[in-house]
C-alpha cells in the first residue's frame, strides 16, 4: 500500500518497460484518481524528455485535460486516446492533442491509436495510462480483453514504455485480478493518510 504522496516516487522508481496496476478505493475515487493523475501526469510525466499517452475509457479527455491544466502539465507532453466521449455524447469540442475512438469496444482501434501516438511522440521516457480496467471489462468479453492486455502491455514492455492501469478495487473480480496478474509487474494500492 502506498500513501498518495508516495505514488509519484514509486512510479519514478519503475524502470521503462514496467507495467503497474494502481488500485483506487471506490469510496475515495475522486481523491484517489486526482492523486494518481498528479503522480502520473505531473510527477513522472514532467521528467525530462517524457511524454504521456492517456487512454480515457471512463473520463473524457476534455475532463482529464482540465485536471492536467490545474496540475500545470505542459500540453506538448500529453496526448489522448479518447474512447468514451462519443458514447457520452461529449464530442463537441475535440482536443487538438487527442485522437478519438467511437467506443471502448474497439480494442484494436485503441491499440492502433496508441501505436500512432508512440510514433508521433518518440521520447526516451513514455508513460501510458489507461484510466479504467473496470470500464474496459464492462464493455468487452473477458477473453477478448485478456488478449488485448496481453498484446498491448507486452508490446509496450518491449518498447520500454511505463504502463499504468487504473483499477477500482472493490469492483475487481477474481477473473480481472488473474488477467492483470499475467501482465503487470506490480500493484499499488492508494492509501489516504487521515489527519
Angle of the 29-37 helix axis to the 61-70 helix axis, nearest 10: 70
Confidence band, pLDDT 50/70/90 cuts, at residue 156: very high
Q: Specify the pLDDT at position 3.
A: 55
Give the separation between CA 121 and CA 52, rounded to whole angstroms. 9
Cβ pair 17, 161 in contact under 8 A? yes
Query: With a threshold of 0.75, does the pTM exceed it?
Result: yes
Cβ pair 155, 119 in contact under 8 A? no
User: What contacts 86, CB < 8 A, 6 or more positions away?
Assistant: 100, 101, 102, 103
Q: Specify the pLDDT at position 120.
A: 96
Q: Percentage of residues in the chain with pLDDT exceeding 70?
A: 92
Give the separation between CA 48 and CA 93, rounded to whole angstroms. 30
Q: What is the pLDDT of residues 37-94, one digit of tens each?
A: 999 998 898 888 899 999 999 999 999 999 999 999 998 999 999 999 988 877 677 8
Lookup result for grid cell 513514455: 126
- HSE-CB at 123 with a 13 A cutoff on CA atoms is 23
Amino acid at each position: 500500500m502506498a500513501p498518495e504522496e508516495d505514488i509519484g516516487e514509486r512510479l519514478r522508481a519503475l524502470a521503462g518497460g514496467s507495467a503497474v496496476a494502481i488500485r483506487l478505493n471506490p469510496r475515495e475515487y475522486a481523491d484517489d484518481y486526482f492523486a494518481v493523475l498528479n503522480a502520473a501526469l505531473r510527477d513522472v510525466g514532467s521528467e525530462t524528455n517524457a511524454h504521456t499517452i492517456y487512454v480515457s475509457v471512463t473520463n473524457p479527455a476534455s475532463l482529464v485535460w482540465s485536471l492536467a491544466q490545474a496540475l500545470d502539465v505542459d500540453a506538448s507532453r500529453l496526448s489522448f486516446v479518447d474512447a468514451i466521449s462519443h458514447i457520452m455524447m461529449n464530442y463537441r469540442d475535440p482536443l487538438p492533442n487527442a485522437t478519438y475512438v467511437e467506443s471502448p469496444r474497439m480494442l484494436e482501434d485503441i491499440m492502433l491509436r496508441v501505436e500512432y501516438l508512440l510514433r508521433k511522440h518518440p521520447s526516451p521516457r513514455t508513460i501510458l495510462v489507461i484510466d479504467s480496467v473496470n470500464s474496459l471489462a464492462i464493455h468487452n468479453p473477458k477473453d477478448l480483453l485478456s488478449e488485448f492486455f496481453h498484446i498491448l502491455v507486452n508490446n509496450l514492455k518491449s518498447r520500454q514504455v511505463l504502463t499504468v492501469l487504473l483499477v477500482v478495487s472493490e469492483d475487481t473480480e477474481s477473473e480481472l485480478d488473474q488477467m492483470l496478474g499475467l501482465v503487470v509487474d506490480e500493484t499499488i494500492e492508494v492509501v489516504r493518510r487521515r489527519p
